[in-house]
Structure 1
Amino acid sequence: MARQRSKSDLPTKICPVCGRPFTWRKKWADCWDEVKYCSDRCRRRKNQQATPESQ
């Protein structure tokens, strides 16, 4: 049986909308290069850029 990877060993990207890092998921195995957003919510809000929340 193959040894599982540690979560810290998985590739990560930064979401351009919320600015948070997100890690590789198995469902993105075939399209990781095209993945830009961490969630559907960020994908829908793609016209907004990451802004510091200083309120």
Structure 2
Amino acid sequence: MPRHRAKSALPTKICPVCNLPFTWRKKWADCWDDVKYCSDRCRRHKSQATPGEMP
């Protein structure tokens, strides 16, 4: 029995900087609730995020 999940079954979030969806990654397993940005580039440009879109 395979232990892998289908990629479509993984949780997703919307990046507040680029407004694109990104999916869960194994390296974020312990901190998924704290992840807000899809990449380091978006994290560096977080001042471009529109206010009020972040939960």
What interval of TM-score do these two structures reach, taking the shorter chain for normalisation?
Answer: 0.7 to 0.9
Extract unaligned runs of 5+ from structure 1: 51-55
Higher CA-based Rg: 1
Compute the TM-score of the two structures, normalised by the length of structure 1: 0.84
Cα RMSD, aligned residues only: 1.3
After the TM superposition, which segments of 4 or more aligned residues of structure 1 sit over 2 Å from their partners?
Answer: none
| C-alpha distance in 1 between matches for 2:4 and 2:45 | 34
How many residue pairs align between the two structures? 50
Extract unaligned runs of 5+ from structure 2: 51-55
**1:2 CA drift (Å):** 4.6
